[in-house]
Amino acid sequence: MNRDSIIFLEHMLDAINNIDKFMLTVTKQEFFTNVEKHSAVVRQLEILGEAAKNLKHSFISKYQSIPWKEIIGLRDKVIHHYFGLDMEIIFDIVNKELPPLKKNLQKIIKIENEK
C-alpha cells in the first residue's frame, strides 16, 4: 500500500469529521442562513474532493463501492460554480451521503493499514 493513499484517505476523513463538528447543532434553516457555517462546510467538501482526486487510479479501482467520481465531481462544482451552489443539495449530501462514506473510509483505512 502506498502511504500517500492512506494520507489522502485520512484527509478525506478529517474533512468529514470537520463537517460533523460544524453541523453538530445546526438546523437546516441555520445552515441556509449562516454564511460562516455553509462556507466552512463547502470548504471541507473541496478538501474531501481534492484528496480523492489525488488518489491513484489503481487504488480507486480497488474500492469501487466508493462514489469517487461523484466526490471529485462535487469538488469541481463547489470550486468552479460556487455562486450557483444549491445549499439544499449540500445539506442533503452532508446528512445523507457523508455518514456512510465516513464508515467506508474508516474501513478502507483499517484494511490498508493492516497490509
Phi–psi pair at 65, nearest 5 degrees: -75, -15
Per-residue model confidence (pLDDT) at position 3: 78
Is the pLDDT score of 85 beyond 90? no
Lowest mean pLDDT among 19-23, 42-46, 84-88, 89-93: 84-88
**What is the percentage of the chain residues whose pLDDT exceeds 70?**
98
CB neighbour burial string for 58-77, b if at least 16 within 10 angstroms, e if fewer: ebbeebeebebeebbebbeb
Decide if 43 is catalytic: no
Q: Which three cell numbers stand for residue 59?
A: 487504488
Q: State pTM to two decimals.
A: 0.93
Per-residue model confidence (pLDDT) at position 80: 81
Of 3, 57, 80, 81, the active-site residue reads 80
Decide if 75 is catalytic: yes
Is the pLDDT score of 42 beyond 90? yes
Per-residue model confidence (pLDDT) at position 82: 63
Of 11, 38, 57, 75, the active-site residue reads 75
